[in-house]
A = this chain, B = another copy of it.
Amino acid sequence: MNHGSGGSLAGKLIRNIFVKRFGMDEPLTDSAVLKENGLLLAFTTDSYVVDPIFFPGGDIGKLAVCGTVNDLSVSGAMPKYISASFIIEEGFSFHDLALIADSMSSEAKNAGVRIVTGDTKVVEKGKCDKLFINTSGIGMMKSGFETISSAMDVKPGDKLIINGPIGNHAIAVLGARKELTFSSPVTSDCASLNHLINNVLEECSEIHFMRDLTRGGLATVLNELADMIFSGIIINESTVPVEEPVKGLCEILGFDPLCLANEGKVLFVVGNEGHQKVLDVLRSHPLGKYSEVIGEIVDNGRNMVILNTAIGGRRIIDMPSGMQLPRIC
């Protein structure tokens, strides 16, 4: 199960089994960038196996559209076309399937993408868990952002910005799974970020890197980034937004919010000069109202992620090796 976590074991599985055999390019990013007749396309795929399929703030269908839209967007592409492939357990209700298709259709409209091709398979009862959805997506690379996934322009002094509180998606799904009741409701942040990201790319300069904070959470993205740039990263815990009920449940269950999955959060790395403008643009959009600067890139000679804790200590944030919660997306 830990190999499906998005953490270091997942990375090992992917590198050891697939990357060499398929001749894929490193670093592994959210989308492949393909050049055809002078046109730069981004191409990405994700299978969604979230359990349960309905949760506060979304369902597997909405998630499947948002996830692929976001993978294209953080690659510097304008998402355009989505495929939708369904593996359905025998006996699954038509009513629920229609609800999920409705939610995909409405999220696609929101994001301004078209679902253009699809497939359905049905397997015997007990051979899959209700419904799995794969979405693949094609986007058009925005000119000037071809190398953004490589983080090659990131340098010491750059600021790290996220667009709001982390951990909601994981806790909302866990809550739905375990039928937990919260003092105040926790809703998944599941959202298509392409319009928000587009605003930033159009209006701001010095955007050096973007990545959505999905499986493996902020901790995974920060460690991957540190490895890519061979520099240190310092995060100030007191500035990382986490909603109270999420914080509370993490304390009770021993989860680290930094490792929890999100489905509507993106990390921007921005040059020091440009960061205030990015913050302003983000905060003026409904999906970025609670954006914060959470840390910066430092030249400490080691590709290490350091957390200045809220109580004045320091600790290393490691790549999560396994998973806190399985089947979160």
Interface, chain A (partner B; CB < 8 A): 1, 3-4, 10, 13-14, 17-18, 21-24, 31-32, 34, 36-37, 39, 41, 43-49, 51, 80-81, 83-88, 90, 94, 97-98, 101-102, 104-105, 108, 114-124, 126-129, 132, 134, 136, 138, 140, 326-327
Question: Using Cβ atoms and an 8 Å threshold, which residues of chain B touch A134?
Answer: 45, 47, 85, 134, 136
The 4 closest A-B pairs by CB, nearest first: A4-B122, A136-B136, A45-B83, A32-B116
Q: What are 14 A-B pairs with beta-carbon distances under 8 A?
A: A4-B122, A21-B101, A21-B105, A31-B117, A32-B116, A36-B39, A39-B39, A43-B81, A43-B83, A45-B136, A46-B85, A48-B121, A49-B127, A122-B326
For A101, what are the chain B residues with a Cβ–Cβ distance below 8 Å? 17-18, 21-22
- Indicate if the CB atoms of A85 and B47 lie closer than 8 Å: yes
Q: Given A17-B98, A21-B102, 18 other A-B contacts at CB below 8 A? A: A1-B122, A18-B118, A22-B105, A24-B116, A32-B117, A36-B39, A36-B80, A37-B39, A43-B117, A45-B119, A47-B85, A49-B123, A83-B136, A85-B136, A121-B327, A126-B126, A127-B128, A128-B129
From B17, B24, B326, A94 is in contact (CB under 8 Å) with B17
Cβ distance A320 to chain B, nearest Cβ, rounded Å: 15
The answer to whether A36 and B136 touch across the interface, beta carbons within 8 angstroms, is no
Q: Are A4 and B34 in contact (CB under 8 A)?
A: no
**Complex CA–CA separation, A87 to B51 (angstroms):** 14
A296: min CB distance to chain B, Å: 31
Q: Is the CB of A4 within 8 A of B84?
A: no
A49 with B87: CB separation less than 8 A: yes
* A1–B41 alpha-carbon span in the complex (Å): 37
Report the separation of the CA atoms of residues A105 and B21 in the bound assembly, to the nearest whole angstrom: 6
- B-chain residues with CB within 8 Å of residue A86 when the two chains form the complex: 47
| Closest CB in chain B relative to A133 CB, distance in Å | 9
